[in-house]
Amino acid sequence: MTTVGYVFLDVNRDTLTPLAEQRQLLEKYAQKLNLFCDELLVEESFASDVPLLERIEGRRMIENVQKGDTILVMQAKWVLGTPQNALSLIKILKDQEVSLFCADLDGNISMPTQRKLQSTQGIASIVYQLCEALSCGERGNHGSAIRAGKARLKREGKYMGGPVPFGWVVGEDGRLTEDSKQQELIAEMILLKADRWSYRDIAGKMQKKQGLKLSHEGIRRIILKNANKK
């Protein structure tokens, strides 16, 4: 599986963000997702209103990605375009089972969020529904609409999309609730760390004993996030 970072440099300089800034943000966002950016594509010959599939690097990227691959982009508006174009792109990626993560929305907007022992529609469902509604009317601001939707969910105390924290699931009411089995695994990780096990050794034990495939960095984040709660 390959992770591709897509950098967009608006030829008209209307929404120009320097290459170095986009590269740094995408690498940082990839690290947050426990991914490594294998390839960085730089689009610099088109304006923002040109559909992604009509751009040189954009078209090449979509033609070359395969099932299980991931695309990272700094801002959703640089790849979505009009509501109709957004729907078309999301459908293509969903059919190919390719994830599209947008840093400004902090979520996967093409595929349901996958986690061990669980799956949730997450932000992908919100984006698709909004784009579908917008496609029936005038061209809208995707980012503003999506952020407004996430703000409403936050006010209601509901899950706002993105990766579900390990140890939790999204309940029927849309709120995060504890996953008893994963909470037991977290407690075991914390005990192992207290017994002076390294994060790498804990990751190995979890994979061998529980079939849990997490990097040592992922284990570290889980333990640090939950240690004070135990």
Interval 131-186: pLDDT, tens:
554 554 444 455 666 666 666 666 666 666 666 788 888 777 777 888 899 999 99
| Domain with residues 3-155, CATH architecture | 3-Layer(aba) Sandwich (3.40)
With beta carbons less than 8 A apart as the criterion, state whether 177 and 169 touch.
Answer: yes
CA–CA separation, 16 vs 42, rounded Å? 13
Distance between CA 230 and CA 228 in Å, rounded?
6
- What is the phi-psi region of residue 122: left when phi exceeds 0, alpha when psi lies from -120 to 50, beta otherwise? left
38, pLDDT greater than 80: yes
Structure tokens at 78: 């640089």
Mean pLDDT calculated for residue range 77-100: 88
Does pLDDT of 201 surpass 90?
yes
Query: In the chain, where are the structural domains located?
Result: 3-155, 179-229
Distance CA 199, CA 205 (A): 10
- Report how far apart, in Å, the C-alpha atoms of 34 and of each of 162, 216, 229 are: 13, 10, 23
Query: What's the predicted TM-score (pTM) here?
Result: 0.55
Using CA atoms, how far apart are residues 162 and 124, in angstroms rounded to an integer? 9
Give me the pLDDT at residue 58, please: 94
